[in-house]
Structure 1
Amino acid sequence: MSFAGFPDEGLVFYEGLEADNTKTYWTRHKSSYEQHVRAPMQALLEELAPEFGPAKMFRPYRDVRFSNDKTPYKTHQGAVVHPEGGGAGAWYVQISADGLMVAGGSWRLESDQVARYRRAVADGVHGPHLEAEVGRLSAAGWAIEGEKLSRVPAGFAPDAARAELLRHKSLHATRRWVPAEWLHDRRALDEVRAAWRDLRALNAWLADNVGATTKEPRARR
């Protein structure tokens, strides 16, 4: 199946889900989700896979075990491509009633990865490269996001070079588009592909300087 765009019916499905996030609504409109959301997203990912690698599409169900919000379904469909070896730096795409979102970078870093990230940021060679790339992305319209400390972490001077980047515990760049006609045809594929290509340097920096965690996976309770 080739990608032909995200149908307007998929956005309408999510508008309804936002208004009525219940099993009743989901059951009644599940065929619309499968046809107008999941199938187009799968087709998009299959066309991107030869260049970026296989993607994981997230389940539509929310994990409500530790949340005060008990609504059962996500009001968006997301998918992620992780680098080989599970290192830092990934590509993300999401469709919802609000439109299209693409992003890249790291959303969650373990403590050993954060330590390597900070050393690289402080380094006189690697740090300026990241600073320049973040500046380029920001100037191009990307939102630079990620969990941050309120101040420069311990072990670094408050006026250290690249202090803003040192405060990050994760780092990713995001771009959003509101619904438009091009979203419903193959131009959406072109936009996602171009955006992901624009994130290559950021993901490469994270892969080279942060890499995969060496911590043992947490045991499930």
Structure 2
Amino acid sequence: MVEFTGFPVAALDFYDDLEVDNTKSFWDAHKAVYDDAVRAPMVALTDALAPEFGEAKVFRPYRDVRFAKDKTPYKTHQGAFVAVAPATGWYVEVAAPGVRVGGGIYHAGGAQLGAIREAMADKRAGAVLQRILRDLERGGFELGGERLKTAPRGYEKDHPRIELLKMKSVLGSRKYGFEPFVHTAELLDKVRDDWRRLRPLVSWLAEHGEA
């Protein structure tokens, strides 16, 4: 296993340039930079985290443009995701703005969303999730996710946990940006520590999302 030593400055520069010139000619001319400065460190990082969190999916750099208005062929970030349940797990990404990490559920639908909402509505389980989210926010994480504008069908607008029930996805994230440590092996410790802090959220969603 290759040792993780951080993302080089060249990784961020690569995405700066790709945002300006998102073409096959640019990609072909700089693919070696992508392979060496972006993908290889991402694989090394996720390999180092795998014994504790599980194997990651390192996403392909190519966009699916079949039904998109934006026909630019390449993603302007490199992400990796460790799944513990459908659409539920931990995330890490490098892009022009730097590095960020996250965890939670990025898309829930049908029976999975219904089961999560039932748990949110439950007094005890819902209170646990509220406490988890409050602790994350106090710990410096940003909370986000897709939300309904009004109460979901079957729930009253004055439900005591209505703000939870409006959530269609639940995410906690932290941006490292251009901090010097993203270019060093210290980044591994930062990601590991934040994924551990996100574990209660990921575990709650995985447990209660079972239909």
SS at match of 2:123: coil
Q: What amino acid does structure 1 have at the position aligned with 2:208?
A: N
SS at match of 2:132: helix
Q: What amino acid does structure 1 have at the position aligned with 2:47?
A: E
- TM normalised by structure 1 equals 0.92
Aligned to 2:74: 73
Q: What are the equivalent positions in structure 2 for 1:14-53 lying under 5 Å apart?
A: 14-53=15-54
Q: What amino acid does structure 1 have at the position aligned with 2:199?
A: R
Report if the CA contact (8 A) 1:105-1:202 is conserved: yes
Q: How many pairs were matched up? A: 210
> 1:57 and 1:89 mapped to 2: Cα distance?
15
Q: What amino acid does structure 2 have at the position aligned with 1:153?
A: P
> 2:10 and 2:51 mapped to 1: Cα distance?
28
Over 3 Å counting, the alpha-carbon distance change for 1:97 and 1:127 in structure 2 is: same
Q: What amino acid does structure 1 have at the position aligned with 2:51?
A: P
The CA deviation string for residues 73-106 of structure 1, in whole angstroms up to 9 with x for no partner, is 00110000011xx346300000011011111010
Q: What amino acid does structure 2 have at the position aligned with 1:137?
A: L
What runs of 5+ residues in structure 2 fail to find an aligned partner? none
Aligned to 2:89: 90
Aligned to 1:195: 194
Deviation at 1:162, TM superposition (A): 1.2
- TM normalised by structure 2 equals 0.97
Aligned to 1:63: 64
> 2:61 and 2:192 mapped to 1: Cα distance?
24
Aligned to 1:125: 124
> 1:26 and 1:100 mapped to 2: Cα distance?
21
> 2:144 and 2:179 mapped to 1: Cα distance?
25
> 1:87 and 1:54 mapped to 2: Cα distance?
15
Aligned to 1:103: 102
Aligned to 1:159: 158
What runs of 5+ residues in structure 1 fail to find an aligned partner? 214-221
> 2:144 and 2:158 mapped to 1: Cα distance?
21
> 1:182 and 1:172 mapped to 2: Cα distance?
24
